[in-house]
Structure formats: C-alpha cells, structure tokens
Amino acid sequence: MGWTLPWYSSAKNDFNIDIGVTRDNEELHRVNVFIRDGDCIYYTYYTSDYTYYTSARGTETLGNTWGLLDLTPFGRQEHWEDSPDGWPRSAPYEWWRRHDEYDT
C-alpha cells in the first residue's frame, strides 16, 4: 500500500523489565503508545498493568485499524478532532481505501 510507518520492538533490551512485563520466568505483552515532540518523547498510553488483563486480554485493539488508531495521541485526525496546526485532518473515512484502490 506504500505506507511507511515506524514500528519498534522492545525485544533484547531492558524496557520490558522496566515496565514490568518481564517477570520471573514469564514474558507478558502490552500495547505501548508514544509521541515524539522534537527531542521529547511522551509515553501516552499502555494497556492494563494487571497480569490477567495484559497477558490474557487487553490487546484486542490490534485486531482492527480503528481501535489502534484511536489509541494514538491524535487519533484518526478527522476534522472534528483537536490536532496541532499543520497536522492533516479529513472527513471521516475520506482516506480509507482498500488495498487495490491505492495508486501504484
């Protein structure tokens, strides 16, 4: 589709230990959301810290685009949302296209 989005992993570093998802002999998972503003990085969202919710449930948002976008600091950037000046805004679903509807 031509999208270029940076995805990062916390594998092979201390981040999982620092946030409590590496415990004793188990490795749990969590959805983490950050935003960068210049040289500052803000931790804006994460799923529950409770072991049951984080390891067994709580990341269903990864199953659909809308839930994942809604976790991000500026959401879907639709015209009614607050976004910083200069950030794109559009009518709901205006940018939504199926994989074969993108220009090549």
User: pLDDT (tens digit, 9 = 90+) per residue, 23-82?
Assistant: 777 777 777 888 888 999 998 888 765 544 444 556 666 677 777 777 778 777 888 877
Q: Which of 4-8, 56-60, 89-93 has the lowest mean pLDDT?
A: 56-60
Residue by residue, what is the 3-state secondary structure of 63-88?
A: HCHHHHHHHCCCCCCECCCCCCCCCC
Q: What is the reported pLDDT for 54?
A: 44
Kindly report whether the global pTM for this prediction surpasses the value 0.75: no
Q: In sequence order, what DSSP letters do the residues of 1-70 get, joined into one string?
A: ----------TTSSHHHHHT-EETTEE----EEEEEETTEEEEEEE--SSHIIIIISS-GGGGSHHHHHH
